[in-house]
Amino acid sequence: MREVTYEQIAEAVSRLCIEANVELGPDVVSALREAKSREKSTVADEVLSQLLQNAEIAASERVPMCQDTGMAVFLVELGQDCHIVGGSLYDAINEGIRKGYGEGYLRASIVGDPIHRKNTGDNTPGIVHVELVEGDACTIHMTAKGFGSENMSRLQMMKPSDGLEAVKAFVVETVRLAGPNACPPVVVGVGLGGNFELSAYLAKRALFRPIGERSKSPDAAELELALLEEINRIGLGPQGMGGRTTALDVHVEMYATHIAGLPVAVNINCHASRHKHVTL
């Protein structure tokens, strides 16, 4: 049994929060560059140039790339032979958020409850999903998820007879309805199968996969490419101002489902797709 301490986790989370918000991942930067080379529209080209310039300024000046520094969401792959000592995993993560968002001058965007809506002041609590895996390592994946795009996400409990074409139409329609609100070019996470809550979780988990990396499932990979092509035909373009790049990528995660159901969830990520991870 390997031990990982509360302090190690809090410190790592604090660093992830800051780094995710100021350093746009190399996968996103290269996807934006590639998109720019494909655009014929001058507005689209200009918007993509400004997004690339924005990412450079953020990284060099250590300023958040976007003022919505997000709700902090974590996917923890916890080895079953890893023992967390000194406090709870959840407390350690929230302490890391408190420290990272404070020291990084990141925006506190979380209200303590959805009715009275009083800001908690330190961006806690975060959202933590734990997956128990083999081994003795603890890998923490973090995303600073903005709500411009989160608000435009949708879930539909389809019927088996609706079929794959209806699933595709629902995904494309979701991106179209999101329009300029979701800060395109977007990354689209699709959760297909499972049940009501698992489909939404799969859609979120899909967003953690680097841009350009296809699903290991041939069916999901084929669906990803077909959806990407269809979405980019809408013509929404960067910031909804027209162009070829409405989405940088589509990631599909699938799971077994019930004979009576076909759940499909779409979680949209803006162009500032911020994902970082660390293994302790």
Q: Minimum distance from CB of 10 to another protein (Å)?
A: 21
Write the secondary structure of the chain as one string of H (helix), E (strand) and C (coil).
CEEEEHHHHHHHHHHHHHHHHHCCCHHHHHHHHHHHHHCCCHHHHHHHHHHHHHHHHHHHHCCCCCCCCCEEEEEEEEECCEEEECCCHHHHHHHHHHHHHHHCCCCCCCECCCCCCCECCCCCCCEEEEEEECCCCEEEEEEEECHHHHCCCEEEEECHHHHHHHHHHHHHHHHHHHHHHHCCCEEEEEEEEECHHHHHHHHHHHCCCCCCCCCCCHHHHHHHHHHHHHHHCCCCCHHHCCCCCCEEEEEEEEEEECCCCEEEEEEEECCCCCEEEEEC
Encoded one letter per residue, x for contact with another protein by CB under 8 A and - for no contact, window 179-198 reads: xxx-x---------------
Q: Minimum distance from CB of 51 to another protein (Å)?
A: 6
Of the candidates 148, 214, 261, 280, which one interacts with another protein according to CB under 8 A? 148
- Cα dist. 128→41, 55, 143 in Å? 41, 27, 11
113 versus 134: smaller Cβ distance to another protein? 113
7 versus 46: smaller Cβ distance to another protein? 46
Q: What residues numbered 48-87 form the site for another protein, per CB under 8 A?
A: 50-51, 53-55, 57-58, 61, 63-69
Q: How far apart are CA 1 and CA 175, in angstroms?
A: 46
Q: How far apart are CA 103 and CA 77, in angstroms?
A: 26
228 in contact with another protein (CB under 8 A): no
Q: Which stretch binds another protein (CB under 8 A): 80-88, 90-98, 101-109, 167-175?
A: 101-109
Q: Minimum distance from CB of 258 to another protein (Å)?
A: 35
7 versus 122: smaller Cβ distance to another protein? 122
247 in contact with another protein (CB under 8 A): no
Residue found under tokens 């997956």:
131
Q: Minimum distance from CB of 167 to another protein (Å)?
A: 23
Q: Minimum distance from CB of 148 to another protein (Å)?
A: 5
Q: Minimum distance from CB of 190 to another protein (Å)?
A: 21
Q: Roughly how many angstroms between the first and final C-alpha of the chain, as a whole number?
A: 14
From the list 126, 142, 110, the residue with the least C-alpha distance to 19 is 142
194 versus 237: smaller Cβ distance to another protein? 237
Q: Minimum distance from CB of 235 to another protein (Å)?
A: 4
236 in contact with another protein (CB under 8 A): yes
205 versus 274: smaller Cβ distance to another protein? 274
Binding residues for another protein (CB under 8 A): 40-43, 46-47, 50-51, 53-55, 57-58, 61, 63-69, 105-109, 117, 119, 121, 146, 148, 151, 179-181, 183, 232-237, 239-244, 246, 270-272
